[in-house]
Amino acid sequence: MSEFFDFLGRRYDDLIEVGLEHMYLVGLSVLLSTAIGVFIGVTTYRTERPREIALAVTGSFLTIPSFALFILMIPIMGIGAPPVIVALTMYGLLPVVRNTITGLREVDQATVESAKGMGMGRTQRLVRIELPLAWPVIVTGVRVTALVLVGIAAVGAIVDGPGYGTFIFDGLARVGSPAAINLVVSGMLGVIVVAILFDTLLAVLGKLTTSRGIQ
Amino acid sequence: MTEQTSTASSAATAPGRTMIKLEGLGKQYPKEPKPAVDNLTLEIPEGEIVILVGPSGCGKTTTMKMINRIIEPTSGRIILGGEDVTKADPDQLRRKIGYVIQQIGLFPHMTIAQNIATVPKLLGWDAKRIDARIDELLQTVSMAPETYRNRYPKQLSGGQRQRVGVARALSGDPAVMLMDEPFGAIDPITRDRLQNEFLRLQAEVRKTIVFVTHDIDEAIKMGDRIAILQEGSRIAQYDTPEQILTAPANDFVADFIGRGASLKRLNLSRVRDIQLSQWPTVQLGDEPAQVLDALRASDKGFALVLDEQRRPRRWVSAPDLQRGTDRPLDQIGLPPEAIVEPQATLNDALNELITANYSVAIVVNASGEYQGIVDIDSITEAIRAMRTDARARARVGLDEDDTVDEAAQVGR
């Protein structure tokens, strides 16, 4: 055990740097998933067919094994961060799209009708009434996305992506040596810490961006 | 208010300028065998409350929602203040029309001030004017601006939300308001109070109001004019409440009014229109002996104690005086209940007095001064007068020409 703490002490700078990379990778992907996912949700929630297609397609992304998807990305995007970000963004879409659609559909229709009756156009209604009211549900979706992506991002090391996955794959390459366990465990703990950080951050952000009137 | 434009009404039913004119308005939903609204023509005079009332599914809400084009008509024209708005920009149109729905539909994520500011903002008012307007409107609906401005809808009671809904609908100072069962989701006691408040408010603002309800009693109470609608929004009768109760145009109307038309007419007469009873009154500082004298001089069992401003303070009887001779008059007997103002309807007064001590309602003016008493006898008397009136009207043409006048005089 003390040997593990020695390892952490020795690789401290490294662990922090890799952690920041991991957070950057996930942060950017969550941002992209959110932007694209909310857009898809907003454009499809009103009508049944497009809505179902959006959910089916983004849902099917999640069924692709991450290992396979990363490798499939190589011919198109090479190796490093870019293929990882694209793959993560795809994985992150479903929770955001689903919650955006659910959130928007759950907005009380009387509220929307009174907005319409007061002379708000379609875009104004969406931006000023529907999205703010659906926001807590959307944020919940974003939090799920963040948790899912923090884990999957580690696998991205297979295509030389940055983050705690590098520790885990290094460990994998040295199975049998004493360092292997240290590498894998520290990589795993790093992933957990990043996950907790993201979830806390998003929870606080969600609270700050949600009107007190609906909390 | 002159009848100058081509849209002005020539009929005797419309005394003021016509504010809203629906011409052959229709709504046919695809795949439905019958139209929801079938060729409706209706003129709504400026400054009046016109009630659309009818059984559920008669098309009254559809009709109302076509006026601000929440529902687009499939035929006919809507003329608003002389201007054909059937094809106008719906958003621009709606900013000029106040809209209150049964669920109120306040924006829960916005404060009361932000809710009220919605239409003024859309109309591009500057911040200062909007601020002043918010305070003014909150005061209009009897809510202290400093207390409520920054609250959220969830922090208000149902009645307060309803008031904010009305304030919000008035915010852009629209000439026309559409109200779809605005008091429908409120408990009966609060509803009564809000209806009265709204009528008082309307007496000041004189908006042209189209009001939808399924409740004939509410229609009679609130309406200057009532359109009773049958399936397809066909007008069974369009008239004043008085006329509808007195002379229902057909069986449908008579059935819809239901039984007890004379009881319903209690909603049309106000306390100020009837003869009030006088009960013995004494002053707060009077000696017990004076009170006993006053009681002896009348046939009533109780005397009303008034303070210096002639506001009712206490009911006292002879036994009360004997039990607590040393105590001041405002500490014996019973507190006054069932206090109504002269503009209250007889129906309000009746509701109050039935539950009150001694079955009487005390009438006070706006500053709380005692005016008189409404008791069961005054109400029965009023009903009898109305009956005589109605009977006389129904017999017009059967007897001599002057029967109506005579009967009315006998009734009063």
Concatenating the DSSP letter of every residue in B213-225 gives: ES-HHHHHHH-SE
Rounded mean pLDDT, A47-63: 95
Residue B384 is predicted with a pLDDT of 82
| Nearest residue of A to residue B99, measured between CA atoms | A117
Angle of CA points B29, B35, B40, to nearest 5°: 120
Indicate yes or no: CB of A110 within 8 angstroms of CB of B105.
yes
What percent of chain A has a predicted confidence (pLDDT) above 90? 67
Helix, strand or coil, per DSSP, at residue B131: helix
Q: Which residues of A touch B91 (CB under 8 A)?
A: 119-121
Angle of CA points B113, B116, B117, to nearest 5°: 80
Residue B5 is predicted with a pLDDT of 39
Q: Which residues of B touch A119 (CB under 8 A)?
A: 90-96, 119, 122
Residue B20 is predicted with a pLDDT of 95
pLDDT of residue B63 exceeding 80: yes
Q: Which residue has the tokens 């003021």?
A: B16
* Residue from A109, A113, A114 whose CB has the most chain B CBs within 10 Å, to mutate: A114
CA distance A125 to chain B (A): 11
- Residue B17 — very low, low, confident or very high, per pLDDT cuts 50/70/90? confident
Nearest to B119 among A119, A129, A214 (CB): A119
Q: How many CB atoms lie within 10 A of CB B53?
A: 25
Residue B268 is predicted with a pLDDT of 80
- The mean of the pLDDT values for chain B is 85
Q: Which residues of B touch A120 (CB under 8 A)?
A: 91, 118, 122
Taking alpha carbons only, the member of B349, B331, B329, B347 closest to residue B339 is: B349
Total residue length of chain A: 215
Q: How many helices (H) and strands (E) does chain B have?
A: 16, 16
CA dist., res. A80 & res. A84, Å (int): 7
Q: Which residues of B touch A131 (CB under 8 A)?
A: none
Q: Which residues of A touch B168 (CB under 8 A)?
A: 118
pLDDT of residue B356 exceeding 90: no
- Residue B10 — very low, low, confident or very high, per pLDDT cuts 50/70/90? very low
Q: Which residue has the tokens 């991450």?
A: A66
Whether B279 and B302 have beta carbons less than 8 Å apart is answered as yes
pLDDT of residue B174 exceeding 80: yes
Nearest to A114 among B97, B99, B109 (CB): B99
Tokens for A71? 């490798």
Q: Which residue has the tokens 């950057």?
A: A24
What percent of chain A has a predicted confidence (pLDDT) above 70? 100
- Residue B2 — very low, low, confident or very high, per pLDDT cuts 50/70/90? very low
Nearest to A111 among B70, B105, B152 (CB): B105
- Residue B387 — very low, low, confident or very high, per pLDDT cuts 50/70/90? confident
Contacts of B140 (CB under 8 A, 6+ apart): B167, B170, B201
pLDDT of residue B219 exceeding 90: yes
Contacts of A152 (CB under 8 A, 6+ apart): A66, A87, A88, A91
Rounded mean pLDDT, B299-311: 84
pLDDT of residue A10 exceeding 60: yes
Residue B15 is predicted with a pLDDT of 56
* Residue from A107, A116, A118 whose CB has the most chain B CBs within 10 Å, to mutate: A118
Phi–psi pair at B188, nearest 5 degrees: -55, -40
Total residue length of chain B: 412
Taking alpha carbons only, the member of B83, B76, B72 closest to residue B30 is: B72
Residue B271 is predicted with a pLDDT of 85
- Residue B401 — very low, low, confident or very high, per pLDDT cuts 50/70/90? low
Q: How many CB atoms lie within 10 A of CB B315?
A: 23
Tokens for B297? 């001089």
Q: Which residues of A touch B111 (CB under 8 A)?
A: 213
What are the DSSP calls for chain A, one per residue? -HHHHHHHHHTHHHHHHHHHHHHHHHHHHHHHHHHHHHHHHHHHTTSHHHHHHHHHHHHHHHHS-HHHHHHHHHHHH-SSHHHHHHHHHHHHHHHHHHHHHHHHHHS-HHHHHHHHHTT--HHHIIIIIIHHHHHHHHHHHHHHHHHHHHHHHHHGGGGT--STHHHHHHHHHTTTSHHHHHHHHHHHHHHHHHHHHHHHHHHHHHHHHS-GGG-
Residue B383 is predicted with a pLDDT of 80
Contacts of B293 (CB under 8 A, 6+ apart): none
Whether A162 and A18 have beta carbons less than 8 Å apart is answered as yes
Rounded mean pLDDT, B328-342: 80
| Nearest residue of A to residue B118, measured between CA atoms | A118
CA dist., res. A200 & res. A183, Å (int): 26
- Name the residue with higher pLDDT: A75 or B358: A75
Residue B8 is predicted with a pLDDT of 36
Q: How far is CA A182 from CA A22, A80, A158, A160, A197, in A?
A: 19, 24, 19, 20, 22
Residues from A in contact with B at Cβ < 8 Å: 108, 110-121, 124, 129, 132-133, 210-214
| Nearest residue of A to residue B150, measured between CA atoms | A213
Sign of the Cα torsion A83, A85, A91, A93 reads: negative
Helix, strand or coil, per DSSP, at residue B327: coil
Taking alpha carbons only, the member of B190, B252, B186, B195 closest to residue B51 is: B195
Indicate yes or no: CB of A117 within 8 angstroms of CB of B99.
yes
Phi–psi pair at A214, nearest 5 degrees: -120, 20
Rounded mean pLDDT, B235-241: 93
CA dist., res. B252 & res. B229, Å (int): 9
The pairing of strands B312-317 and B360-364 is unpaired
Rounded mean pLDDT, A54-75: 91
Nearest to A117 among B70, B110, B154 (CB): B70
Helix, strand or coil, per DSSP, at residue B282: strand
pLDDT of residue B6 exceeding 80: no
pLDDT of residue A155 exceeding 60: yes
Indicate yes or no: CB of A211 within 8 angstroms of CB of B109.
yes
B82-116 burial, b for 16+ CB within 10 Å, e for fewer? eeebbeeebbebbbbbbbbbbbbbbbbbbbbbbbb
What percent of chain B has a predicted confidence (pLDDT) above 90? 45
* Residue from B61, B104, B112, B118 whose CB has the most chain A CBs within 10 Å, to mutate: B118
Rounded mean pLDDT, A6-27: 89
Whether B271 and B344 have beta carbons less than 8 Å apart is answered as yes
CA B370 to chain centroid, in Å, comes to 24
Rounded mean pLDDT, A4-10: 84
Residue B301 is predicted with a pLDDT of 80
- Residue B238 — very low, low, confident or very high, per pLDDT cuts 50/70/90? very high
Rounded mean pLDDT, B102-106: 91
Torsion of CA B102, B106, B112, B117, to 10 degrees: -100
Indicate yes or no: CB of B105 within 8 angstroms of CB of A108.
yes
Contacts of B155 (CB under 8 A, 6+ apart): none
pTM of the shown model? 0.78
Range of weakest confidence among A82-96, B6-20, B66-80, B301-315: B6-20
- Residue B407 — very low, low, confident or very high, per pLDDT cuts 50/70/90? very low
Q: How far is CA A187 from CA A9, A74, A199, B213, in A?
A: 14, 24, 18, 67
pLDDT of residue B147 exceeding 70: yes
pLDDT of residue B328 exceeding 80: no
pLDDT of residue B7 exceeding 80: no
The pairing of strands B281-283 and B302-306 is parallel
Taking alpha carbons only, the member of A80, A131, A74 closest to residue A103 is: A131
What percent of chain B has a predicted confidence (pLDDT) above 70? 91
Q: Which residues of B touch A108 (CB under 8 A)?
A: 103, 105, 108
Taking alpha carbons only, the member of B55, B42, B38 closest to residue B14 is: B42
pLDDT of residue B326 exceeding 60: yes
Nearest to B107 among A111, A119, A212 (CB): A111
Residue B325 is predicted with a pLDDT of 65
Residue B319 is predicted with a pLDDT of 81
Whether A74 and A27 have beta carbons less than 8 Å apart is answered as no
CA B255 to chain centroid, in Å, comes to 23
Q: Which residues of B touch A129 (CB under 8 A)?
A: 107
CA distance A114 to chain B (A): 6
- The mean of the pLDDT values for chain A is 92
pLDDT of residue A191 exceeding 60: yes
Nearest to A116 among B70, B92, B111 (CB): B70
Q: Which residues of A touch B104 (CB under 8 A)?
A: 110, 114
Residues from B in contact with A at Cβ < 8 Å: 68, 70, 90-97, 99, 101-111, 118-119, 122, 152-154, 168, 178
- Residue A1 — very low, low, confident or very high, per pLDDT cuts 50/70/90? low
